[in-house]
């Protein structure tokens, strides 16, 4: 009996497909167009992650250097943006591990439950379930950014990718090499943590 061949993976033709093909076909000058398309978005993502403009610039530079180096290996099996952020997230994690900061703490989900031992979640207010980009007005922006920075790295990356960059749970899982279930758990914990950090802002009538 003839063994069936594995089907050829379907190529994802996103908005970057033709540009990537052109660069890989030898039009290296077009790489500048790719940088212009994503450098501001990557910088914002990096700055929210590390809060230091110089570190954010380094992350963006290292990301594009790696992309330029390995673009020939891109197989078009996912959106280029997903692959780009996978590179950036890996660099963020590497930077964090090499930093002088203390190791991250786990955020037990039980910390955000009532102290009666029932384990029942407190009622989450409407604003706490909203994607973060809907909460970003000028007055709240700095408060929210500080709260995000107080999150351990693994939670921070998940909530930035899901709520700020708009990636789906599946895409976030692929970018961070996690299961979708793990992403959901981390996202839930991070949102509860931020709710707790921001409740004073809303309770004061903002």
CA–CA separation, 103 vs 164, rounded Å? Answer: 24
Which residue, among 72, 77, 79, has the nearest Cα to 10 in the 3D structure? Answer: 77
CA–CA separation, 20 vs 26, rounded Å? Answer: 10
Instruction: Specify the higher pLDDT residue, 29 or 204.
Output: 29
In this prediction the pTM is: 0.75
Averaged pLDDT score across all residues of the chain: 79
pLDDT tens profile 106-158: 444 444 333 333 343 434 444 455 555 555 555 667 777 888 888 888 899 99
> 44 with 148: CB under 8 angstroms?
no
Query: How would residue 97 be classed by pLDDT, with cut points 50, 70 and 90?
Result: confident
Mean pLDDT is lowest, of 41-45, 115-119, 129-133, 201-205, for 115-119
Please say if the pLDDT value at position 4 is more than 60: no
CA–CA separation, 56 vs 195, rounded Å? Answer: 26
Q: So what's the pLDDT on residue 31?
A: 96
What percent of the chain is predicted at pLDDT more than 70?
Answer: 72
Positions of CATH 1.10.1740.10 in the chain: 17-98
Q: Which residues fall within 8 angstroms of residue 162, CB to CB, at 6 or more apart?
A: 131, 168, 169, 172, 183, 187
Write out the CATH class of domain 109-203: mainly alpha
Positions of CATH 1.10.10.10 in the chain: 109-203
Q: So what's the pLDDT on residue 51?
A: 80
Which numeric CATH code is attached to 17-98?
A: 1.10.1740.10
Q: How many CA atoms lie within 13 A of 44 on its CB side?
A: 8
């Amino acid at each position: 009996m003839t063994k069936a061949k594995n089907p050829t993976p379907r190529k994802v033709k996103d908005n970057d497909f033709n540009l990537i093909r052109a660069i890989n076909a030898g039009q290296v000058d077009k790489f500048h167009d790719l940088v212009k398309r994503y450098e501001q978005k990557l910088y914002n993502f990096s700055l929210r992650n590390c809060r230091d403009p110089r570190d954010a610039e380094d992350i963006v530079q290292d990301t594009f250097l790696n992309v330029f180096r390995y673009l020939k290996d891109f197989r078009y099996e996912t959106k280029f943006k997903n692959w780009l952020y996978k590179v950036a997230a890996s660099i963020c994690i590497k930077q964090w591990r090499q930093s002088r900061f203390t190791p991250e703490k786990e955020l037990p989900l039980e910390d955000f439950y009532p102290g009666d031992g029932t384990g029942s979640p407190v009622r989450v207010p409407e604003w706490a379930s909203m994607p973060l980009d809907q909460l970003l007005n000028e007055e709240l922006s700095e408060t929210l950014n500080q709260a995000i920075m107080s999150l351990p790295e693994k939670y921070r990356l998940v909530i930035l990718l899901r709520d700020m960059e708009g990636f789906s749970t599946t895409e976030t899982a692929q970018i961070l090499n996690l299961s979708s279930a793990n992403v959901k758990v981390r996202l839930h914990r991070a949102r509860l943590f931020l709710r707790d950090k921001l409740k004073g802002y809303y309770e004061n009538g903002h």
